[in-house]
Chains A and B, each alone.
Chain A
């Protein structure tokens, strides 16, 4: 688990639990949930971007050479990219 940084007591909770820091969700590294990771085979990749479109976490980025990779801080290992990749360029491999 990512370490909590929020308020401790009920008195410290903001009114209506409003979070005033924009984008603070990025501090939560969901990559720790991952049991499998996507591995790209760039020989098969046709740079179509389907993986980028379907990633529910929005953590797949395109590199300068046009190929794709996932940010492992946030990739939960759901496998949707591998499922959707029609040239089968992505393989899910066990962590660890």
Chain B
């Protein structure tokens, strides 16, 4: 039987990665990711996980090291947060262009400035277009499951792309909560050793990361885009297999009491379960409300999203980041553009919430929904508001 235990989520993620038969990890510690780095290095140092832990002097080096190691055919892991991810930014499109199946945990944290160490999604959003598969988790169990699944997805011959798992900093990483570790035997069966497409080996030399100008670059970009779009099929298949073996099902777009609901709330990450409590409260009052939770950020699940919101009259999109000078939050603009050509589509409004670790409570969600219920559709359509921000 899988063992249920109480554990801090960051440590649980390190444990889960340790179950994945990794060959190498290079993780530079940064709050709130540090406990992943600390615990994983401990597992390796204690001989519980047979892998190399490469200590590096920055996140740029951590990403460089895993790119190199992945090129040799190794199964690799790294993790970071906020400024660390910003420092890695330069290398992210290289990892995806080279089609290296790197897995990275991101303890999502606000970016400076001002300096802030708490949670929001402003670190991952600027990485949106780097060609990485990007998935959000809601709780500790999902952080474990997705971290393991990530290797299978990344290394699949039809995918061969890096995957990042977004784990809200503090709200998830620093939470002690019940988690269940899958049995090692089943993980080994689920996740066979990596079979690299090409490796850096002196016995069979290849060139990785070759130079390409305008004569090939556009074809390469098209190939990369097709690869990540195509990866959804494999992601779905991996989730189906996971559900069969481990009994926990995952979908690109999760819904909660959403069927037939007049008003839908859309969240990403750890806000989802708190929002469920708000939906329960309002449903108990007879309000026609439901929740949509976007799990798969890249590749974007267009069909599933359209299906989930097609009956709603109003859709409240929650963002935990800002697209400065843009149409609101990054999730908002994505959802709007995804629904642009739909004949029946809800009025969409946007609330930006939880920036820099500002607490997101059940009352925030009930407050938003209550307001949107009251307002005329036309009035709320296309509005974007920084929820709860103090004003004169």
Question: Residues of A at under 8 Å CB distance from B?
Answer: 4, 6-7, 9-11, 13, 15-20, 22-25
Contacts and interface: CB of A to CB of B under 8 A. Distances in A.
A7 B216 CA distance: 9
B220 A10 contact: yes
Nearest to A18: B198
B160 A16 contact: yes
B206 A10 contact: no
Interface stretch (B27-35, B94-102, B288-296, B363-371): B94-102
Nearest to A8: B219
Given A16-B100, A19-B210, A20-B198, 14 more contacts: A7-B216, A10-B218, A10-B220, A13-B223, A15-B198, A16-B97, A16-B160, A17-B209, A17-B212, A18-B197, A18-B206, A18-B207, A20-B206, A25-B207
Contacts, number: 54
13 contacts: A4-B215, A10-B219, A10-B223, A15-B197, A16-B160, A17-B97, A17-B212, A17-B220, A18-B197, A19-B207, A19-B210, A20-B206, A24-B207
B208 interface: yes
Do most interface residues of chain B lie in helix, strand or loop, or is the interface mixed? loop
B160 A15 contact: yes
Interface in B28-52: none
A83 to B, nearest CB: 26
B226 A19 contact: no
Nearest to A6: B216
Given A15-B160, A16-B198, A9 B219 contact: yes
B215 A16 contact: no
A75 B287 CA distance: 78
**Which residue of B208, B215, B216, B223 has the most chain A CB atoms within 10 A of its CB atom?**
B223
